[in-house]
Structure 1
Amino acid sequence: MRDSEQLAQSSVSQVVTPGHLLYGCLIQKSGALGEIRLKSSIELEKLRSTVIMAEPHTKTTSDYLSCSVSKEVLAVFEKAANYMKNYNQIHLNEGHLLKALINSHKVDHLLTEENKQIIIRLATSSRDMITHLAAYSFPDITSRFIDKVSKKEETELIQFMETHFSGWLDTIQFAFQQAEQNIYIARNDGGKIIGFAAYDTYQHKKGYFGPMGVLPDCRTKGVGYALLHYCLKDMKEIGYEYAIIGGAGPLEFYEKACRAVVIPLNE
């Protein structure tokens, strides 16, 4: 959101409006946001010129930004935060913001219907990502609470999935039907399962990482990072040149954790 604030400081009102948020998202050059620039007809310089001349009727403050914002921006942040919670995530990202901006109709005057649909398709939905394993090395992770699941732990993990990640229940049940269970689980100090990750399981496809899930109150503690890398280590040892991360979200986690990149969508 730094780009949005910087643009606001050079604007007539020096107040962040929905247009500033839109520009701040679209100016990014990498990942799904960079793909928008390639596949849409959005003219960023024209958008910038329009946004810096906007004069909001009201201004207030927000916990997300250090400078003044319009009341419309507060409404966008509230909507974006609701999307974040609905996705069971804990960090507000550009995908949440863009979805909120478009669905709240705060930037209708800045985007064509076609460009709105392009943004929704490319930046606000889960995407497949890919990471190269040829030069992969296992990071310095010391965790005595992460292990590959055993058949005797099936009932415990299935109960955990039913309670916390029911959307992935069928996938994990399928994994237990295979000769080898390619699933890692993380436990807390008390021995309770707090997270899981799998590979060669997503949509019954080889070479795919996922699904993965960590309890919300255990996130930001490196659990998901560790689970990811235990799986990637196995996948490299199997001989995979690449790992596909199926239906990844949030994208920025995988970009930072294992240098994964978004696989462009075919038109």
Structure 2
Amino acid sequence: MKAPHFTHKVIKLIQQAERIAERHHHRSIQSIDLFIGASLVKEGALKEMHYLLEPYTDEIERLIETLTPEPSSENWIEPFSMPLSSHAHRIWTSSIDIMKRYNQTFLNEGHIIQAFFLHIPSHPQLEQGLMEIPKKQIIQSVTTARDLTVNLLTNDWINKELQGVVISMVQPNEEEDFLSWVKHQFGERWFETLSGAFQSSSPFIPILKAEEKGKLVGFAAYDVYMNKKGIFGPMGVIPATRLHGVGKQLLYTALHRMKERGYLYAVLKEAGPIEFYEKTCGAKLIPLDNTR
């Protein structure tokens, strides 16, 4: 299987899963190794997961010791240094399918945890052993889009311009063509969200567009979500242009504009690729009420 791109947290998750497997003398990475390995990363939403599982540490350790070993799939998948069990391999394959379904480029921890819970009914012993853990809270914390904040005073948000990429504000007379492109590339939900930006009597549309060779390749909006001020998003870049720095350029330009308008903080609403924002602009997760 060709390896997708991995987030920093997924690399750490794999390393932790392998340490657990070695400590318990597993001949292949077990599905429980992936699950507990995620909580041991202790970063971002996985730190919340760690706190949620902490009261169950002894029970989970006993569960790992008593689980019937899952047979090896004999599949060596990069960047693992040992094979995955047949059940863990199904989880891994499903996580990549979930990533593709969301039209994302990087495999993240949310995809893996979502796939884990998707397949747990087919592993009755594991499902029974994890019956008492706060499954609902873990899913909400790790697998769903989250809100983050950015302190706009920490940076001037001026980024080096990308060669061949032009970023500018969307103009009122571009409404039809722009919204049609958004609907085609990113779906009905973002189309509806961005449509509201064109309903105002103000000639200013708080949406940036990125163009390459005269063609739209991405956008970033702010102050459009439910007409609330200080909220960044949505932002989207077409798959063919990802990993080229267009997303960062759009993000920085939007944050710079928000800072110019006097905002001290920006709220990143329902951000999907959380680690991108954590690393690119120092965004911080807004904690959920059900975690400490």
Q: Deviations over 1:114-164 (max 9, x none)?
A: 521111111111111111112222243213411111223222211201211
Name the residue aligned to 1:174.
196
Distance 1:76 1:3, change over 3 A: same
In structure 1, list runs of 5 or more residues that go unmatched: none
User: Given that residues 62 and 74 in structure 1 are in contact (C-alpha distance below 8 angstroms), is that contact kept between their aligned partners in structure 2?
Assistant: no
Give the 3-state SS of the residue equivalent to 1:196 in structure 2.
strand
Provide the aligned C-alpha RMSD in A. 2.0
Give the 3-state SS of the residue equivalent to 2:81 in structure 1.
strand
Name the residue aligned to 2:224.
201
Matched, 1:27 2:40: yes
Name the residue aligned to 1:183.
207
Give the CA deviation at 1:6. Answer: 2.4
Q: Deviations over 1:176-215 (max 9, x none)?
A: 22311111111122x1101111001122211000011111
Moved more, 176-185 or 137-146: 137-146
Matched, 1:252 2:266: no
1:4-153 aligned at under 5 Å gives the runs 4-40=17-53, 42-44=55-57, 46-48=59-61, 50-51=63-64, 55-64=69-78, 65-105=80-120, 106=123, 107-112=126-131, 115-143=134-162, 144-153=165-174
State the alpha-carbon separation in 2 of the partners of residues 163 and 92 from structure 1. Answer: 24
State the alpha-carbon separation in 1 of the partners of residues 219 and 154 from structure 2. Answer: 25
Give the 3-state SS of the residue equivalent to 1:104 in structure 2.
helix
User: Given that residues 8 and 52 in structure 1 are in contact (C-alpha distance below 8 angstroms), is that contact kept between their aligned partners in structure 2?
Assistant: no
Amino acid at match of 1:78: T
Distance 1:44 1:236, change over 3 A: farther
Amino acid at match of 1:21: L
Taking structure 2 as the reference length, the TM-score comes to 0.84
Moved more, 61-70 or 104-113: 104-113
Distance 1:156 1:115, change over 3 A: same
Give the CA deviation at 1:63. Answer: 2.5
Taking structure 1 as the reference length, the TM-score comes to 0.92
Distance 1:251 1:52, change over 3 A: farther
User: Given that residues 40 and 118 in structure 1 are in contact (C-alpha distance below 8 angstroms), is that contact kept between their aligned partners in structure 2?
Assistant: no
